[in-house]
Chain A
């Protein structure tokens, strides 16, 4: 498991360049360009179970969902940031990607620290310190637990559109 550490205001153009927005839409098309203009090493080296740690306003800018879709597809376990921009936050829930707002945990991280996540109990260990984070409201948790928004609404649709 590797921790990828970035700064404040990581925008969606850095996470996935706008020039590919209308030619790359599937996970396989997105993966090679993830974080292309931010960290050239990331797309080739990221592995399932890795964690991204970042500063404030992560995911600001465009509503493009390729960053959330791609990071979920390569198996990023969670993004831990001081704060997230709202459209990215929504996109991540809709993809079933785990976002954790834990400013103190991000502050505490030093290069080489081990990071362990216990999402079920709302805890994250950074080095020797443990930080807790609040859970999602039930409405959003239901979407994430269904594996994303589309699986979630398919269940509702199967029960009769507009109900539930």
Chain B
């Protein structure tokens, strides 16, 4: 019997020839990602750190991104504590305020690699499945234990195979696609499962794949992973860390899948996740015309260069509706810099956008775009839970970057395909 991607990686990382679904294995991850929550994590183990130190300084990747620059004294004190920890233990993989969102940093700095294993104290750690990496979220206490021991347990998950074919239509994004999949499978449809995307993935750019892997957790998945192809190799060449020829993990032909699905990209239509769950998927046309108070373009889901390019192309020379506001949140300093050189930021600012520093911004409701009761946000982020953006009497709708840009233009939910020039 062949092995799935998850079986192969977990066998390799636990030093075994073969592992079975349901087996609990002890693994040593390549990296542990933590962010602003590092302050609380090290706060749990201060005496232990004094006694034992960190197990492996290169294990840790720490990125300050969640509430940056600090919104309150408590955040600032947390950041200070983290900088002191980094200094004391000589941690090299530290990225201070303004570098970008942790998931983008892990990808663009080349920490996530095919066949690798990364755990992080953030649920969207699953994003690195885009580059064939086994990556998944854990809680703070587990991160604390990992800093001390460098090892943890994982249960070998059953796998789903999602076979893709075709190409997305103009004005339709990978975000529409993954939202459609979540709508079909449900918010817990892949709970505990490893989701493998297979088939013809050549029509999906690396940015598209990151958006899709990022949303894996929104259907409960432990990982959501793509195979390695020329797009992956080109991505690693671009970041200056080219892949070795045999650096990939692919499921065996005879691997066993709990469920199999097939999707044709040509069939995907623009969709919206309506409040207050990500699987509450509606065709865009059902919600067209709904007034929107705030539009958010960016985040770890859709804050990459191609997302900013799509929005800038659509908004260039036009004005955001006076009835809404458009917040732009690039995923990293590198992306912001690229977008400036390409003129996208200029186009967006001239259209009336507000530029936020690369980080998590208002996505988790702490600052930089908190909502008022009765307000409605249309966002490219990954969650629309009640209260998520700081107010439980507000509504969050999720969509792709084109839909958010078109809607910003009109101050109401709008179909981006009507903006596409023939």
Interface residues of A (CB under 8 A from B): 9, 11, 13-14, 17-19, 21-23, 25, 36-37, 56-57, 60-65, 68-69, 83, 85-87, 90-91, 94-95, 137, 139-140, 148-150, 153-154, 156-157, 161-162
Known contacts A25-B40, A149-B145; decide if A13 and B383 are in contact (CB<8 Å): yes
Contact of B140 among A13, A65, A137, A140 (CB under 8 A): A65
Contact of B141 among A56, A149, A162 (CB under 8 A): A149
**Interchain CA distance A18-B44 in the complex, whole Å:** 20
**Interchain CA distance A9-B36 in the complex, whole Å:** 26
CB <8 Å contact, B366 and A63: no
**Interchain CA distance A14-B365 in the complex, whole Å:** 13
Contacts of A83 on B, CB cut-off 8 Å? 188, 191
Contacts of A14 on B, CB cut-off 8 Å? 385-387
**Interchain CA distance A36-B78 in the complex, whole Å:** 24
Q: Identify the stretch in B3-11, B66-74, B83-91, B344-352 within 8 Å (CB) of chain A at 4 or more residues.
A: B66-74
Q: Which of B95-152 contact A (CB under 8 A)?
A: 120-123, 125, 137-142, 144-145, 148-151
CB <8 Å contact, A90 and B145: no
CB <8 Å contact, B188 and A63: no
Instruction: Name the interface size band of chain B.
Output: 35 or more
Interface residue B266 (Cβ < 8 Å from any Cβ of A): no
Known contacts A22-B74, A137-B24, A157-B52; decide if A90 and B387 are in contact (CB<8 Å): no
Contact of A37 among B75, B187, B387 (CB under 8 A): B387
**Interchain CA distance A90-B142 in the complex, whole Å:** 9
Contact of B222 among A19, A25, A60, A86 (CB under 8 A): A86
CB <8 Å contact, B37 and A153: no
Q: Can you list 10 A-B contacts with CB-CB less than 8 angstroms, sorted by A residue number?
A: A21-B364, A22-B37, A23-B72, A23-B75, A25-B39, A60-B188, A63-B139, A69-B141, A94-B141, A161-B149
**Interchain CA distance A9-B188 in the complex, whole Å:** 8
Contact of B121 among A25, A63, A162 (CB under 8 A): A63
CB <8 Å contact, A62 and B188: no
Looking across the interface, which residue of chain A has its beta carbon closest to that of B22? A137
**Interchain CA distance A55-B383 in the complex, whole Å:** 20
Contact of B387 among A17, A56, A156 (CB under 8 A): A17
B345 vs chain A, min Cβ distance (A) = 28
Contact of B138 among A60, A63, A154 (CB under 8 A): A63
Which 9 pairs from chain A and chain B are nearest by CB?
A91-B139, A57-B188, A25-B40, A65-B139, A18-B364, A37-B387, A13-B385, A63-B137, A63-B123
**Interchain CA distance A91-B123 in the complex, whole Å:** 12
A27 vs chain B, min Cβ distance (A) = 12
Interface residue B412 (Cβ < 8 Å from any Cβ of A): no
CB <8 Å contact, B24 and A61: no
Interface residues of B (CB under 8 A from A): 24, 36-37, 39-40, 43-45, 48, 51-52, 55, 66-67, 72, 74-75, 78, 120-123, 125, 137-142, 144-145, 148-151, 153, 187-188, 191-192, 217, 220, 222, 277, 364-366, 370, 383, 385-388, 390, 392
Contact of B366 among A11, A22, A36, A157 (CB under 8 A): A22
Contact of A57 among B37, B220, B365 (CB under 8 A): B220
B157 vs chain A, min Cβ distance (A) = 9
Contact of B148 among A62, A94, A157 (CB under 8 A): A157
**Interchain CA distance A19-B123 in the complex, whole Å:** 16
CB <8 Å contact, A62 and B45: no
Residue among A14, A18, A36, A161 having the largest count of chain B Cβ atoms under 10 Å:
A18
Contact of B390 among A19, A137, A149, A156 (CB under 8 A): A19
Contacts of B139 on A, CB cut-off 8 Å? 63-65, 68, 87, 90-91, 94
Add 7 more A-B contacts to A21-B37, A22-B39, A23-B75 (CB < 8 A).
A9-B187, A19-B365, A56-B188, A60-B188, A63-B140, A153-B148, A157-B48
Contacts of B277 on A, CB cut-off 8 Å? 9, 11
Contacts of A94 on B, CB cut-off 8 Å? 139, 141-142, 145
CB <8 Å contact, B188 and A87: no
Looking across the interface, which residue of chain A has its beta carbon closest to that of B41? A25
CB <8 Å contact, A90 and B388: no
Residue among B121, B139, B388 having the largest count of chain A Cβ atoms under 10 Å:
B139
CB <8 Å contact, B48 and A154: yes
Known contacts A63-B137, A153-B148, A153-B149; decide if A86 and B192 are in contact (CB<8 Å): yes
Contacts of A61 on B, CB cut-off 8 Å? 123, 383, 385
Looking across the interface, which residue of chain B has its beta carbon closest to that of A11? B385
Looking across the interface, which residue of chain B has its beta carbon closest to that of A18? B364
Looking across the interface, which residue of chain A has its beta carbon closest to that of B55? A161
**Interchain CA distance A150-B125 in the complex, whole Å:** 22
